[in-house]
Every structure is written in C-alpha cells, then in structure tokens.
A and B are shown apart, each in its own frame.
Chain A
Amino acid sequence: MRLTCTVNGTEQHVDDVWEGESLLYVLRERMGLPGSKNACEQGECGSCTVYLDGLPVCACLVAAGQAEGRQIGTVEGLAGPEALHPVQQAFLDAGAVQCGFCTPGLLVATHDLIARHGRPSDAETREALAGNLCRCTGYEKILDAVRLAADRMAEPAAGGDR
C-alpha cells in the first residue's frame, strides 16, 4: 500500500508498504529515520515513543496504515539544524545518556511532560516516564535531566536557553 503522512513537518510518501508493518518499521526502514528505537517492539519499553497528532505513543504499536494522513513527530524533529532542544541539552549535561538506546523515547516523553506540566514534581515525572525503560542509569540522572530542562525552559534568560 501507499502511505502518506507528515513527519517532523515534512510530507512523506512511501510505496510498497506491507500492511503488517508498524509505524516504527516504516520510520526506521523506509523513511531513513532510525532515531526511534526498536528495543522491545511490544509496547513495553517506550524507546520508540513518537508524537502522533501531538500525543506520545509507542510507534511499534501503531500499524503503518493508522498513520495515514496524520502528523508524526520523532526525536529527529526535536532540535533545529544548529542548536539542541533544551531537553536534549539537559540529558547531556546531567549525564543521563549512557548507551543511549532509551534516550530518543525518553526525550520525546520528557518533551511532552514539560509541555504539559512546566515544572513537574519528581512524583509526576516518575509517573510520566514509568513506561520508558532504561537499563544503564538507574534513572537518577534522568530525573536530574528533567529538572534541569524544566528549570531552563521556565527561565530561559537565567538558565541559558541553549
């Protein structure tokens, strides 16, 4: 089948998509956007989290056909061509990136969390990120990164909007 959707603001057309393919497969293997990760492909780990019409979803659980005509946002769309998004910069500065396989999903989930909550409490962060598994960090530095990003985004002048 032919799939048409908008990814990171650009309209994409893909031909010869097999109906059994997931949105994750199409992004990674047919659109050249492997940033969303394939850690479990069963909706348990959150490493493929993308925006679908503004809501974070696991791309592995979305059939490719369900994306027809819709807006997709992936980790590749968070930053501009030059500067990183403050959430990305905060993950680097806090040391929240080790192997980095969970990072793209966590960045999208954190981006969404801060958009909704501004400065989330730790308890809110834990609830919001409970669907994103990380095996390297023990999550402490991810919490540090969320606090850092939220602070910087709340006070761009003082915190340095990088």
Chain B
Amino acid sequence: MSTPTRTPTGAPEHLTGPGSGGVGDDAQRPDGVLKVRGEFAYGSDLWMEDMLWGVTLRSPHPYARIRSVDTSAALATPGVSAVLTSDDVPGEKVYGLELADQPVLALDVVRYQGEPVALVAADHPETARLAAARIHVDYDVLEPVTDARTALGHPTWNQVHDSTAEVTELSRESAHLHPEGNLVRHLKVRTGDPAPTADVVVVGEYEVGMQDQAFLGPEAGLAVPAEDGGVELHVATQWLHVDQKQICSALALPPEQVRLTLAGVGGAFGGREDLSMHVHACLLALRTGRPVKMSYNREESFFGHVHRHPATMRYEHGATRDGELVYVKAAIYFDGGAYASSTPAVVGNGGTMGIGPYVVPNVHVDCYGAYTNNPPCGAMRGFGSVQTAFAYESQMDALAAELDMDPVELRCRNAMEEGSATPTGQVIDSPAPVVELLRRLEAMPLPARSGDGEVDLRDMPGGVSNTTHGEGVRRGVGYAVAYKNVAFSEGYDDHSTARVRLEVVGGEPTATVHTAAAEVGQGLVTVEQQIARTELGVERVVVHPKDTSVGSAGSTSASRQTYVTGGAVKAACEKVREQLVARAERLVGRTVPDLRLAGGAVVSDSEDITVPLADLLGDDVLEETLEWRHRPTEAIDPETGQGFAHVQYAFSAHRAVVDVDTELGLVKVVEMACTQDVGKAINPQAVVGQIQGGTAQGLGLAVMEEILIQDGKVRNPSFTDYLIPTILDMPPMRIEVLEYADPHAPYGLRGVGEAPNISSGPAVLAAIRAATGLPLTRVPVRPEHITGT
C-alpha cells in the first residue's frame, strides 16, 4: 500500500541507468549496515579512556532572581573535577541563533524552568548528578508570565487587529522579561482593500499546543581538549558552523581552535538547531584538561531543547455566495518562551504563509512572536506553518459548511496554481498542483468500514482495552492541503559548500564528497553519493565525515539540504567533470561535443570513444571546492509584508479517515492518504519515508502530543506522559508522489521533509470533526473535547 505512484514530468533524464545508485534510484544508505549492526556511533555512544561525565544543574523555577550560588559542597564531593557557573564563561555570556539573548549559564535571572545554572564534571554520571544536587542556589521566585497575548499586552481579541491598540500596564512594567520588551517580532501582511466586505463570513479562534520533536537520540557529545589550547567537539547537531560560531563567542576562541565533527544523530526535527550541551561540554573539558562527555536523559532532553511554538489564532474569512474567497484577516500569536531562538523566522513563515495555498485578493495578517516564561520555542519540522495550517484549513471547512459546499470543491475553487500571486505579492513561478493533489486524494478508494464483518477489537478505538465493539463509533473523512517554503528566506544568504575529490584507489575511480551538512537520519549522505555517481559516472563514492574543516553547508532544516547541499555537490562535480572532459579532449586531440561520464569512463555517444577515468587520472587527484547558492530572496516590506520572500514552495495534501468512539472520545485513525509534489524524487524510497514520518508527526500533534505547561512548569517530561504515535496508532498510508520539476532547482527537485508534517494534522482534525459534528478548534484533541465532560 505504501508503494508510491510516480508521475514523471520534465525532470532531467540524462541520468545513469536504473539501479546504479544514481539520482532517481532507491539507493541504500551508506551508514545502513553500521546502523543495523549496532556499530554506528551516535553522540551518546562516544567514549574515551579517562573521560569525565558532565551534567547540568537547571532552574526549578520558571522565573526567579538568583541571589547566590554556593558550589562548595559539590566541589568537595569525591570524584568531582569541576563545578562551573556563569562566572566561568570566558567570552560572551549569552548566545542565540538570531538574537544573542540566552545565557550560557544563568546570570542574575532565570527565565524558564530548566534554564542551565551550573555544570559539574565527575568520573561517573551518578557522582556528577549527586554533586549537582549539592549546589545551593538561593532564588527569589517571581511570578511568571505564561501567556503570549498577556505578555504583549493584547489580552483581548478585539485589540489584535490594531497593532497601535493601547497596551496594558503588564507589558510595560513587570513583565519586561527582556530589556527591549516582550515582542520578538510583529509581521504584517497587507494587500488589497483594507476594509473588504463579503456575502458570507466565518470567524474562528484556534489553539495549538506545544509539541516536542521527541527525537530518540538524546542531546549528546564529547569535548576533547586540544594541545593548541582549543577544543574538539564531537556532537549530534543540525548545523556545525552555526554551533561553532556560538561556541567560539562563548569560549573567546577563534574558529581554528574550535573544531567540530558530527557525531551520529538520532533524529533532529529542528530540536538540534539551537545549542544544548555544546558550550557546556567544551567549558568542562577546557577547565579539567580531560575529555568530557555529556548525554541528557529523556527528562533533561525535554528541558534541553526548544519546542514547537504553541499558538493562538483568530481568523476571519469572507467569501462570495458561490465560494470565492474575498478576504482573510488573521491574528496569529506564537509563544516564543523565554528566549528568542528562531522565533523571528517562525513568525516570518507563520505570517507570510498564514492563509494557506489559496488565492485571496484582500489579506490582513498580523503575526506576533512573544517572550514569556514558558520553555523556549524554536525550530520544529514545519516551522510556523504547522500551527497556521490547523487554523486556515479549519476555516475552509467552516466556510464550506456555511456555503453548503463540498470542502474539497471549495479548496479547489480557490487554490493557488503556477502564476498565482501569494499574499506577499510573490508570483509562483514553478508548478503548484494544489488542485491535482486534492483531486487525486478524492479519487483514491476509501478503506472498508470495520464492523462490516466480525469485529476485531484491534480495529476499534480503544483497541484491546475492549472499550467498544462498534457501539457509538462514527467514521469521519477529512481533507487538508498545505504549503511550505523550502530553504532560508527573506534575503538570507543561504548557501552550502561542497568539496569533491576524484582519484584512483585500488584501480577504481573513487569520488569523495566532503560537506558539513548534518545527516540526521533523513538520508542526505545517500543523496550526496547518488549525485556524485550520476554526475561523475563512478560507482564508488565515499562520504567524508562531516566537520568544520570544510565550509558551512547551512542548516539541516527548512527541507533545504537536498536542494542546497545537493546543489553544491552537483556543482562541484560539474567542475571536476569539466577538468576530465578537457583532459579527454587533449588525449583525443580535438573537441568532442557530447563527451560525458559514465561507467567510470569518459564516453561519447556519437563517436566510439571510451577513456577510462583510471587512465585519464593516473596518480592525479582532482579536487574542487565551491560555495553554492540558490537564487536570492529578499526582505519583505515591514509595513505590508510584500516581497520575494521564499525561493521555493512545497505542496502536499492529506486525506484522513478516522473512527471515533463518541462516548469515550477515543480516536482511531483508520487510514492516511497523502499526495505530494516533490519535483524530482532523488531517492524515491527515502522520499516516501519522509512523507510517512512527517505524516506521523502531524497525526501526533492532532490527537496526542502536547507538552503540558502549568504556571510555566512542564508537567510531562517523559515518554510515559508525553505520548508519540506507536505502531498501533499509525494506520496504513496511501501515498502518491508527483514529480513536476521546478525549473529553478537542481534536477527540478523540491524539498520534501516538512510539507507532509503540515497537512496531515489538519486532515485528522477535519476527519474527527466530520465524525462528531463538533467544531474542535484546539489540538491536540483530547477525549474530553469530544465527550464534553
């Protein structure tokens, strides 16, 4: 059932044959054998003779002033080598991805529960933990600010469409968590008539809870002091060079003395874009002169990385009687928590794409990111687009109901297509098959109803808990479509660096691809090999370990690495190929227009020329290093949001089928179906894997995943209480992969990872609404939302 249908289009087909491990093949991952043997070294697996274990002491309070810290008892604990506080940070004491506002170790104030206060290194992790518990911190506990709108002084919705509305005293005075106030970013989108009217108007308020990335491999790494006074850090991360920059700043060391190597990464999903234990382990290693390993346990992991922003949103949609959208007004609030992290960019996505893949002439969006005393929020797969999709797709369903129109029909009537303008005035200049994605979903068969024959409890909501044999169970079907920008936006210099080397090893031409692009599980290492095989016509491609001895590849986020690092590898290979072709032409003594690389040789189709690379290279090593950029984007107008903000959009749609036990509020997702345009599937098996995994995370947010915060404190920091989908929760999936080439992208490809994470949850929510007839404006949907108890 998971076999994808591929719809080939004009994507380049100058590629090597099927099954050769090139572009377009289901090539196997180069790290796969190590992973199934249990021999792949993740961050938490690293080990050195004589290493110490580092642990972090964290604030138990969401907001408090620190009066004093006494580390003497901890230092006196046998086995302890070092205890550090903010006084021991030699360089800048604050860091951050976009704004440096987060202390490496708490200064005078802690702003969230779990904020790091002190570090301990000891010869056993339990010794270190016991010693950390002996650090005495005297706190003056303050009243936390735990709501984004309160923090901004917008306590009521009637103010939110007027950014000049009077703010309350709270935001002026006591709640100033940061010197500049509690507003991280306010993005405005203004287009068309500022006071539009319409035949039919629907208004809705929506709320999305805080989701956790819940990657399985904990934050972990090993810092090793170096003889030159610097440090080597092996760490599981998403972006080595942005880590390096921040570590250098905190340690007051130049980049040459802070060398990073990627350790095995057990999933990321955005949660490793910010620093976690990076600086801490380096500080301890430099202080003790010994290797220091840090590896969070699951509870600490919940405090040790940023989460998905919770959001509150109010939408107003106006349409004509026959279902043409006239206007959308929206106010979107993202709770950024205690520190900025990537909140400005999340607001950018939430605001610019906040009405979904629809053509609307009149748009008025205000999108805010606020500081509160909740856990810091930042990057997570879907990045600002997941939250708004729940709201705008719920609005489309509400509007369809109001118009007595089929929800898919309403969506198709207003869908973007190539040539459409976004609300930010950007003309979509590559395929945008929104209608086709929806129509293909509609055409797929629906799953059989359980209970038509003999009841299998395992098919029922509640499963073998034996809560129903079908009584009170109602089925619902829901649709959703979404879009998401690929790569970094709003004028960011988004580039990657690739070094490609070609030489003869053991008689066989061998390419080595060296980038700093983090492999987090998605399969970029496979893609790097595939591109080199296709471009250089060689079979053997070695992926060099990822480190900072080559230039930045940018972040493994924003669905961008296959596009941007893939583009860099392709371009570097092309430069190597030019050299080879020139050599071959010198050898044959003339220009041959159709020379290409295939089967380990330079060949011509028109003439009988085959020059083996082994002969052409001899002992020579060809190497090319280059930076590659996608076409530039531009900053948007601060008052209107207009501008060419995003380089590419990815589109996906889902249909969800659910059975709901309406008496107990239990939901069983029966089937998920997804259609997605990927431009060109570089590795079809991995593409489908991304769609399946993204679908699961969207489903999780719709029905079960939420970090529960009460008065600024996390109530469920464990996999016992923070639930992610199990194999019992995930239904079979139908997937159709479309390949409409983007002419601006390498191979026509489109970033894949995030879009299916965005459209799946809203489809599940729509299906539950269809089953129950309830409005359901908050995710995750809990049983009590369905039963009303």
Q: Shortest distance in angstroms between B311's beta carbon and chain A's nearest beta carbon?
A: 22
Q: Are B692 and A39 in contact (CB under 8 A)?
A: no
Residues in A with CB closer than 8 Å to B686 are: 95
Quick one: closest B residue to A44, CB to CB?
A: B719
Q: Are B298 and A41 in contact (CB under 8 A)?
A: yes
In the assembled complex, the Cα of A91 lies from the Cα of B42 at a distance in Å of 19
Quick one: closest B residue to A74, CB to CB?
A: B38
Q: Are B41 and A99 in contact (CB under 8 A)?
A: no
Residues in A with CB closer than 8 Å to B694 are: 138
Quick one: closest B residue to A45, CB to CB?
A: B719
Q: Are B724 and A135 in contact (CB under 8 A)?
A: yes
For chain B, which range describes its interface: under 10, 10 to 19, 20 to 34, or 35 or more residues? 35 or more
Q: Are A136 and B36 in contact (CB under 8 A)?
A: no
In the assembled complex, the Cα of A74 lies from the Cα of B37 at a distance in Å of 10
Q: Are A79 and B37 in contact (CB under 8 A)?
A: yes
Q: Shortest distance in angstroms between A84's beta carbon and chain B's nearest beta carbon?
A: 6
Most buried by B among A29, A40, A74, A144: A40
Q: Are B35 and A103 in contact (CB under 8 A)?
A: yes
Residues in A with CB closer than 8 Å to B724 are: 133, 135
Quick one: closest A residue to B457, CB to CB?
A: A123
Per-residue interface assignment for chain B, residues 682 to 704, with 1 indicating a CB less than 8 Å from any chain A CB and 0 otherwise = 00011011001111110000000
Quick one: closest B residue to A96, CB to CB?
A: B689
Please report which residues of chain A, range 127-157, place their CB below 8 angstroms from some CB of chain B when the two chains form the complex: 127, 129-144
Q: Are A137 and B36 in contact (CB under 8 A)?
A: no
Quick one: closest A residue to B685, CB to CB?
A: A95
Q: Are B216 and A39 in contact (CB under 8 A)?
A: yes
Stretch of B153-161, B341-349, B481-489, B515-523 with 4 or more beta carbons under 8 angstroms from chain A: B515-523
Our pick among B32, B264, B692, B719 for the contact of A140 (Cβ within 8 Å) is B692
Residues in B with CB closer than 8 Å to A40 are: 216, 297-298, 718-719
Task: Given A135-B267, A138-B696, A141-B2, answer yes or no on A18-B124 (Cβ-Cβ < 8 Å).
Answer: yes
Quick one: closest B residue to A103, CB to CB?
A: B35
Please report which residues of chain B, range 479-538, place their CB below 8 angstroms from some CB of chain A when the two chains form the complex: 520-523
Q: Are A135 and B215 in contact (CB under 8 A)?
A: yes
Task: Given A18-B124, A99-B217, A138-B696, answer yes or no on A36-B266 (Cβ-Cβ < 8 Å).
Answer: no
Q: Are A29 and B522 in contact (CB under 8 A)?
A: no
Residues in A with CB closer than 8 Å to B2 are: 140-141, 144
Quick one: closest B residue to A32, CB to CB?
A: B47
Q: Are B728 and A127 in contact (CB under 8 A)?
A: yes
In the assembled complex, the Cα of A67 lies from the Cα of B266 at a distance in Å of 28
In the assembled complex, the Cα of A144 lies from the Cα of B2 at a distance in Å of 9
Q: Are A107 and B732 in contact (CB under 8 A)?
A: no
A66: interface (CB < 8 Å): no
Task: Given A42-B298, A42-B718, A107-B36, answer yes or no on A101-B733 (Cβ-Cβ < 8 Å).
Answer: no
Task: Given A20-B126, A42-B720, A99-B217, answer yes or no on A75-B693 (Cβ-Cβ < 8 Å).
Answer: no
Residues in B with CB closer than 8 Å to A103 are: 35-36
Residues in A with CB closer than 8 Å to B718 are: 40, 42, 44
In the assembled complex, the Cα of A134 lies from the Cα of B216 at a distance in Å of 8
Per-residue interface assignment for chain B, residues 200 to 227, with 1 indicating a CB less than 8 Å from any chain A CB and 0 otherwise = 0000000000000111111000000000
Task: Given A20-B126, A41-B297, A92-B36, answer yes or no on A101-B267 (Cβ-Cβ < 8 Å).
Answer: yes
B28: interface (CB < 8 Å): yes
Our pick among B44, B265, B688 for the contact of A95 (Cβ within 8 Å) is B688
A100: interface (CB < 8 Å): yes
For chain A, which range describes its interface: under 10, 10 to 19, 20 to 34, or 35 or more residues? 35 or more
Q: Are A47 and B216 in contact (CB under 8 A)?
A: yes
Quick one: closest B residue to A47, CB to CB?
A: B216
Per-residue interface assignment for chain A, residues 82 to 107, with 1 indicating a CB less than 8 Å from any chain B CB and 0 otherwise = 00100011011101011111111001
Quick one: closest B residue to A21, CB to CB?
A: B126
Q: Shortest distance in angstroms between A11's beta carbon and chain B's nearest beta carbon?
A: 20
Q: Shortest distance in angstroms between A74's beta carbon and chain B's nearest beta carbon?
A: 7
Please report which residues of chain B, range 81-105, place their CB below 8 angstroms from some CB of chain A when the two chains form the complex: none
In the assembled complex, the Cα of A133 lies from the Cα of B212 at a distance in Å of 14
Most buried by B among A20, A28, A44: A44
Q: Are B36 and A101 in contact (CB under 8 A)?
A: no
In the assembled complex, the Cα of A41 lies from the Cα of B297 at a distance in Å of 7
Q: Shortest distance in angstroms between A136's beta carbon and chain B's nearest beta carbon?
A: 5
Residues in A with CB closer than 8 Å to B693 are: 98, 135-138
In the assembled complex, the Cα of A136 lies from the Cα of B36 at a distance in Å of 15
B417: interface (CB < 8 Å): no
Most buried by B among A39, A89, A107: A39
Quick one: closest B residue to A143, CB to CB?
A: B727
Task: Given A136-B689, A140-B732, answer yes or no on A97-B267 (Cβ-Cβ < 8 Å).
Answer: no
Q: Are B38 and A92 in contact (CB under 8 A)?
A: no
Residues in A with CB closer than 8 Å to B689 are: 95, 98, 136-137, 141
Q: Shortest distance in angstroms between A28's beta carbon and chain B's nearest beta carbon?
A: 7
Q: Shortest distance in angstroms between B299's beta carbon and chain A's nearest beta carbon?
A: 8
A34: interface (CB < 8 Å): yes
Q: Are B37 and A39 in contact (CB under 8 A)?
A: no
Per-residue interface assignment for chain A, residues 17 to 53, with 1 indicating a CB less than 8 Å from any chain B CB and 0 otherwise = 0101000000011001111111111101101000000
Quick one: closest A residue to B733, CB to CB?
A: A140
Please report which residues of chain B, range 439-459, place their CB below 8 angstroms from some CB of chain A when the two chains form the complex: 456, 458
B39: interface (CB < 8 Å): yes
Q: Are B216 and A37 in contact (CB under 8 A)?
A: yes
Most buried by A among B36, B686, B692: B36
Most buried by B among A28, A37, A139: A139
Task: Given A123-B458, A137-B689, A141-B2, answer yes or no on A100-B45 (Cβ-Cβ < 8 Å).
Answer: no
Closest 5 CB pairs of A and B: A35-B38, A99-B521, A101-B266, A100-B35, A138-B692
Give 8 new A-B contacts, CB below 8 A, not counting A29-B47, A132-B727, A138-B695.
Answer: A35-B39, A39-B218, A40-B719, A41-B297, A88-B36, A101-B266, A135-B213, A135-B693
Chain A: residues with CB nearer than 8 A to chain B? 18, 20, 28-29, 32-42, 44-45, 47, 74-76, 78-79, 84, 88-89, 91-93, 95, 97-104, 107, 123, 125-127, 129-144
Please name 20 pairs of A and B residues whose Cβ atoms are closer than 8 Å in the assembled complex, sorted by A.
A20-B126, A38-B297, A39-B266, A39-B298, A44-B720, A75-B38, A79-B36, A88-B36, A100-B35, A101-B266, A107-B36, A130-B728, A131-B726, A133-B216, A135-B215, A135-B216, A137-B692, A139-B696, A139-B726, A142-B727
